Amino acid sequence: MHKANLNLLPTLKVLLETRNISRAAELLHLSQPSISKQLGQLRSEFGDELLVREGQRWLLTPRAEALAAQLADSLGALERLYEAPGFDPSRCERVFRLASSDYVAQHILPDICAALVREAPLAALEYSLWDKRLLPQLWQSELDMVSTITELVPDQIRGLHQGEDRLVVLMGSHHPLAGRSLSLDNYLAWPHLQVSGGGDKDSPVEQVLAPQGLSRRWFARVPFFQAAVEVLLRTDCLLTTPAHIAWQLSCEHALHFCDLPFASRTQQYHLLWHQRHHQDPAHKWFRELAYPFLREHLQRTVAASRKVLNPPR
């Protein structure tokens, strides 16, 4: 079977459009002898003269006229393969999948949903509680993005940094330690509560206590911040949590927060996604929609918490 020389098709297209060897050479940035040579090859390929000289002009053969119509469609389709895919939010019917903590679901997700329904009314959003252990397996997940705390971003994971925060101790306003400066002995003496859902909120504390042979006494572990709030209101537990979350929850409930009795590393917040989604137009649009809400809330509440922890003198 004869193997077609597809490299000649651009030359054929220009020759059929211009019907002029000199003009074709100019448009293709080739010499006239080179165009004449390629015309000879094309005549051999198609078994037809294609262009016939008539005085000072060239005429197309019937086969060439048929090829001109077919070639315009074929090359146009090939060129469209290289076009960047467009994205129209108003016509998008995609389900976007985002994961984070129940805190984000309660305090930030409603703003993201309002913007989504306004700009992409046919789209949908599926939200799930994030498990920090799943980050290395993000490539296997159906998730589009995760908003989480992490120090290390694995290979093939892309992201945007939202900001940072420090850990504090949250307790009920009725707690005997509320309003007092917290000592390490007191921190260790009282029972502790842990929120397991979302990002890693505890390893900075363990990195300080473990080398000293110290540990906290756990009373309960719960997956949701709202459950933790109800426990704090009814017990004398302590919850170590990011300052911006402590500030927000203390604005809504009878809670008090204060600094840890030791220094710990800050927590880094990221919006993350796998590399395979990075150049997808719909994904890019959605992360650019969600990111400002996540970053603004973090920045605003971190600033508010610092005013409480470090009041102006």
**Region 19-46: what's the mean pLDDT?**
86
For the chain, how many residues are written? 313
Distance CA 170, CA 262 (A): 15
Q: At 78, is the secondary structure helix, strand, or coil?
A: helix
| CA dihedral sign, ordered 269, 271, 275, 279 | negative
pLDDT in the model for residue 81: 60
Pick the more confident residue, 230 or 32: 230
Pick the more confident residue, 133 or 170: 170
Q: How confident is the model at residue 61 (pLDDT cuts 50, 70, 90)?
A: confident
Contact 231, 220 (CB under 8 A): yes
Which uninterrupted H or E stretch holds 244? helix 243-252
Contact 161, 268 (CB under 8 A): yes
Which uninterrupted H or E stretch holds 60? strand 57-60
pLDDT in the model for residue 220: 95
Whether residue 1 is predicted with pLDDT greater than 60 in this model: the reply is no
Q: Name residue 240's beta-bridge partners.
A: 169
Pick the more confident residue, 9 or 167: 167
Contact 72, 13 (CB under 8 A): yes
DSSP code per residue over 81-132: HTSPPP--GGG---EEEEEE-HHHHHHTHHHHHHHHHHH-TT-EEEEEE-BG
Tokens of 223: 């997956």
Give tens-digit pLDDT for 183-212.
Answer: 999 999 999 999 987 666 678 899 999 999
The mean pLDDT of the chain is 89
Whether residue 60 is predicted with pLDDT greater than 80 in this model: the reply is yes
**Region 65-82: what's the mean pLDDT?**
73
pLDDT in the model for residue 202: 76
Contact 242, 169 (CB under 8 A): no
Distance CA 110, CA 69 (A): 53
pLDDT in the model for residue 57: 80
| Strand 95-100 versus strand 124-129 pairing type | parallel
- All structural domains of the chain, each given as residue ranges with its CATH number in brackets, are 6-82 (1.10.10.10), 92-164+269-309 (3.40.190.10), 167-265 (3.40.190.10)
Q: At 256, is the secondary structure helix, strand, or coil?
A: strand
Q: pTM of the entire structure? A: 0.74
The radius of gyration of the chain's CA atoms, rounded to the nearest angstrom, is 33
Helices then strands, each counted (H, E), the chain = 11, 12
Tokens of 94: 């995609």
pLDDT in the model for residue 21: 85
Q: Which of 72-76, 133-137, 280-284 is the least confident region?
A: 72-76
Contact 265, 192 (CB under 8 A): no
Q: How confident is the model at residue 70 (pLDDT cuts 50, 70, 90)?
A: confident
Cα dist from 139 to 142, 144, 273, whole Å: 8, 10, 9
Give tens-digit pLDDT for 130-142.
Answer: 988 888 888 888 9
**Region 234-243: what's the mean pLDDT?**
97
Residue 63 CB neighbour total at 10 angstroms: 13
Distance CA 155, CA 136 (A): 9
HSE (CB half, 13 Å, CA atoms) of 220? Answer: 16
Q: At 294, is the secondary structure helix, strand, or coil?
A: helix
Whether residue 77 is predicted with pLDDT greater than 80 in this model: the reply is no
Whether residue 257 is predicted with pLDDT greater than 60 in this model: the reply is yes
Distance CA 229, CA 193 (A): 10
Whether residue 306 is predicted with pLDDT greater than 80 in this model: the reply is yes
* Spatial CB neighbours of 103, under 8 Å, sequence gap ≥ 6: 198, 225, 245, 248
Whether residue 223 is predicted with pLDDT greater than 60 in this model: the reply is yes
pLDDT in the model for residue 121: 96
Q: How confident is the model at residue 243 (pLDDT cuts 50, 70, 90)?
A: very high
